Structure 1
Amino acid sequence: MELPVTYYDRAEYIETDTGNKVSRKSVICGSQNIILGGKTIIQTGCVIRGDLRRTGGGHTVVVAIGRFCLLSQGSIIRPPYKTYKGIFSYYPMKIGDHVTIGEGSIVQAATIGSYVTIGKNCVIGRFAIIKDCCCIEDNTIIPPNTVVPSFSIYDGSPGSYKDELPECTQELYEQKTKDYYSKFTPRD
């Protein structure tokens, strides 16, 4: 499947030294607590909450995003939280390489592995763990604390196992994210 060229307004995006393309119309809170691996695209209206972190010492990285990731328009990335022994705390979130998060999706997972596609309008509950090579279909709600096994397709509300992905999923998702990045071109 050949991806079309996606044009963007050069003035709307900031390009970093590592090739990340971040929309000026996205909301990045607590940028000092967010790490982007490189060649990641953060589109218009995307919200990343790096300001939601534990108080006191310890971890300063709140959201770590790998290489060749796509955070689509209107997606919201915020770290998971819970109250433990009467103390309310946020916990770090790690997103692997070659991850696509669809438009309007809300993600509060603890971990998202590499080579994962999350569809449009999904809700990934607090402390969910999505292993490598997974597909979350459009409009799926993954309940809090769910573990999505590798090479699985989840669908529905609440999300449940629907099918298995082929062994070539890693190569397919890697090629897809690299193609999208290479065809995400500024309009002259």
Structure 2
Amino acid sequence: MYISSNAKIGENVILGHNVVIEDGVVINSNVTVGHNVVIKKDTVVGEGCIIGDNTILGKEPFKATISATTEKKTLPALIIGKYVTIGANCVIYRGASLKDYVFVGDLASIREDVVIGEYTVIGRGVAVENKTTIGRYVKIETEAYITAMSTIEDYCFIAPEVTFTNDNFLGRTEERKKYFKGPTIRKGARIGANATILPGIEIGEDALIAAGAVVTRNVPPKKVYAGIPARELKDVPQEQLLENQSYYKDN
């Protein structure tokens, strides 16, 4: 085990075997840290968090020579709010911010310049790329891929294996860099398993995308879209609208 002499560790913190805690780290009280966890410099871990085995917190991003969305810059510290649970074998980058009560499943990856709102669930094996904003009470299920420069508003549901995209030119021409943009998913929208959302598409509030759909155009609020390419099928039933759910908090 290695703990930097200038790390600050609160009361009732449990540390597993072979933990590494670097300079400037702050771990607040009542945190449980699993075995083989590495907490990189300046990371802040809020009260009551649980960190699973073999997880890395505060990793600096590496930049591939041909990467078009990763920047070399000074990033702020990783900030993890209160009562956040992070599973085993996760990598969460410096420059991310996880608000209170976020849950991150095993094997997830969360990049720099990402903000995740309160009570959101990031499922097992989910990849959240850089420059992405995710709201409160969002659920992103197993192995979904959230591309760079995406926005997901509050109360959205993203099913397993959903794929977001941000490059209409598929890596060809320098011109493409002017147009990089991930999807924007408005409040309460739902996306079914294995759906693919093309770059820059906006899914309206409370819209529903059926499983396996390929969304090539903007989707209006409260509509069901299905197929390849996705087309309007019907209205979202009234009883399914977010405003009619007992758990919804309009604030």
Q: Do both share a fold (TM > 0.5)?
A: yes
**Count of residue pairs brought into register by the alignment:** 142
Is there any run of 5+ residues in structure 2 with no aligned partner, and where?
1-50, 54-84, 88-97, 166-181
Q: Does the C-alpha gap of structure 1 residues 103 and 27 become closer, same or farther in structure 2, counting only changes over 3 Å?
A: same
Bigger relative contact order (CA 8 A; separation at least 6): 1
Kept after mapping to 2: 8 A contact 1:37/1:66: yes
Runs of 4+ in 1 over 2 A off after TM superposition: 10-13, 171-175
Question: For 1:67, which of 114, 122, 136 is the aligned residue?
Answer: 136
Structure with bigger strand share is 1
Q: TM-score, normalised by structure 1?
A: 0.68
Kept after mapping to 2: 8 A contact 1:152/1:164: yes
Question: For 1:136, which of 205, 209, 213 is the aligned residue?
Answer: 209
Q: Distance in 1 between matches of 2:207 and 2:127?
A: 23
Is there any run of 5+ residues in structure 1 with no aligned partner, and where?
1-9, 51-61, 80-91, 179-188
Question: For 1:150, which of 218, 221, 233 is the aligned residue?
Answer: 221
Q: CA RMSD in A?
A: 2.4
Report SS of the residue matched to 2:242: helix
Question: For 1:34, which of 106, 114, 129 is the aligned residue?
Answer: 114
- Residue 177 of structure 2: aligned partner: none
- Residue 122 of structure 1: aligned partner: 195
Question: For 1:45, which of 113, 125, 147 is the aligned residue?
Answer: 125
Structure 1 residues 1-188: aligned runs within 5 Å: 11=52, 13-14=85-86, 18-30=100-112, 33-50=113-130, 62-79=131-148, 92-108=149-165, 109-143=182-216, 146-168=217-239, 169-172=241-244, 175=247
Structure with bigger helix share is 1
Provide, for residues 106-152 of structure 1, a one-character-per-residue CA deviation record: whole Å limited to 9, x for no partner: 02343110011100001011010111010001111102xx1100010
Kept after mapping to 2: 8 A contact 1:76/1:106: yes
Q: Distance in 1 between matches of 2:153 and 2:52?
A: 28
